Structure 1
Amino acid sequence: MSNIGFRILPIKRKVDKELVEEFRNVVTPHISDNLNRIHAIGSKLRPYHKEGKLVGTAITVKTRPGDNLLVHKAIDIAEPGDVIVVDAGGDTTNAIVGEIMLRIARRNGIAGFIIDGAIRDTKAFMEGDFPVYAVGVTHRGPYKDGPGEINVPISVDGMCVNPGDLLIGDEDGIAVVPVESARDLLVKVRQQEQKELEIFRSIDNNTIDRSWIDETLKQRGCEFNDNTHKV
């Protein structure tokens, strides 16, 4: 019988490593635009590292607020390139990770932390390039009693994250790419990159077409009070 709430499961499927690398130079706005702008972890989580981009596949952890026993276990079983994603309920009373866990994770080749909760020892994070996103900071340490679950669907600031999903984090936040969508998404992202390059060139050449603005206003029934505008 499954012990729901206190169990460790395997990852059944994850994004291929070669495909993960293809996303390393992709920015999160391009990903978001091509996922209808809803597959993103909310802005409540902020980066606490000095530099470095987060790209990797999710090993998920659901834990009771303030407890990191299952997070420790996740660090030990994660594969190089995995991202530890923790649903700690958004609570910031106790820190979920600190410098000791940072050092172990970095040694193990883990790609980063996403903590829907608090961290501590922030100097160690803010001076380095190990990506960590969290809700807040507190000096109060965690408990290590459980319960918790590893590799189950979790919610991080309103976004569902499944084990094996692709996570990309940069200065604009964190995008979540479902396993089954990653390859098709990359094609769309590359197309958008080319489209934006063309827009940038038209700006530089002063040939950009801005007629769409008035056309949209007209379609939406906007009333112009400025006589210089004709609709």
Structure 2
Amino acid sequence: MDKIGIRVLSSAEQRCDTTTLEAFRQVGVAQVSDCMGRLYGSVGLRPIHGPGVRMSGIALTVKTRPGDNLMIHRAIDLAQPGDVIVVDGGGCTANALVGELMMKQAQRRGVVGFVIDGAVRDAEAFGPAGFACFARDISHRGPFKDGPGEINVPVSVGGLVVQPGDVILGDADGLTAIPQAYAVEVLRLAEAKEQAEAKGMERIAAGTYEKPWQAPALARLQKDYA
């Protein structure tokens, strides 16, 4: 299907390798965000799955009419192991777009998480299943299955623009997306930042932590308001 509004496009041919994805799972989203200028992240989407679940995978994107999950079902059928199904549902929270049955179907295909700019239901099922789910809200009201919708197109979830094939990361702090071409470089920077923060923790414990940026910032502030 290639008519605007009902397009189902091919997934990205190049995919981030599993070794890099697993390495990202060990790095905090906050540290990754810092290494991308603190510009890339969603707002208003929260983890539904509870504590202890980190998400790292490849974006399979869906754009759907609010309250309708026809194309999400189709995306699950097309999903590859390691995918994260990223759904632009327009932020509407009146009707849940996914629930436990869809989660189980997706998990069976190797999908590692949902990102839903809309509502979900069966919220208590995600944590015990170890399946990452980030959403705007929870609603017991079920979805419609009429369409229209599109698959593997650019989407926006909580203000975060996601392209098909992007690396999607999620933890207790939230979500970010990394363009595939930058994944290896961002991983290197984020790992270095985590190592630097670990050393900072050691200095705090030893009472030797310093903030060399503080005095210049205060001096500039004083000058600006003089």
> For this structure pair, what is the TM-score category when the shorter chain's length is used for normalisation?
over 0.9
TM-score (norm 2): 0.93
Is 1:150–2:190 an aligned residue pair?
A: no
SS at match of 2:222: coil
Mapping of residues 132-171 of structure 1, within 5 Å: 132-171=133-172
Number of positions where the alignment pairs a residue of Structure 1 with one of Structure 2: 223
Q: Is the 8 A contact 1:52 1:129 kept in 2?
A: yes
Letter in 1 for 2:109: N
List runs of 5+ in structure 1 lacking aligned partners: 224-231
Indicate the percent of aligned positions where both proteins have the same amino acid: 45
- 2:55 alignment counterpart: 54
CA deviations 1:150-185 (Å, max 9, x no partner) are 000001111110001001110000111111110111
Q: Which has the larger radius of gyration?
A: 1
State the TM-score, normalizing by the size of structure 1.
0.91
The answer to whether the 8 Å contact 2:2/2:9 transfers is no
The equivalences for 1:25-64 within 5 A come to: 25-42=26-43, 44-50=44-50, 51-64=52-65
80-89 vs 9-18, greater mean Cα deviation: 9-18
Between 29-38 and 125-134, report the one with greater CA deviation: 125-134
Amino acid across the alignment from 2:173? D
Contact 1:14 1:163 in 2 (8 A): no
The DSSP-based 3-state class of the residue aligned with 1:109 is coil
8 Å Cα contact 2:160/2:176 also seen in 1: no
2:84 and 2:135 map into 1 onto residues whose CA distance is 13
SS at match of 1:176: strand
Shift of 1:126: 4.3
Q: Which amino acid aligns with 1:3?
A: K
Matching residue of 1:80:
81
Query: Could you say which residue in structure 2 is the equivalent of 1:11?
Result: 11
Unaligned segments of structure 2, at least 5 residues: none
SS of residue matched to 2:4? coil
Q: 1:217 — aligned with what? A: 218
User: Hey, what's the Cα distance between the residues in 2 that align with 1:210 and 1:82?
Assistant: 41
Counterpart secondary structure, 1:221: helix
Runs of 4+, deviation exceeding 4 Å: none
Q: Superposition RMSD on alpha carbons, in Å?
A: 1.8
CA distance in 2: counterparts of 1:212 and 1:62, whole angstroms = 43
Q: Which residue of 2 aligns with 1:184?
A: 185
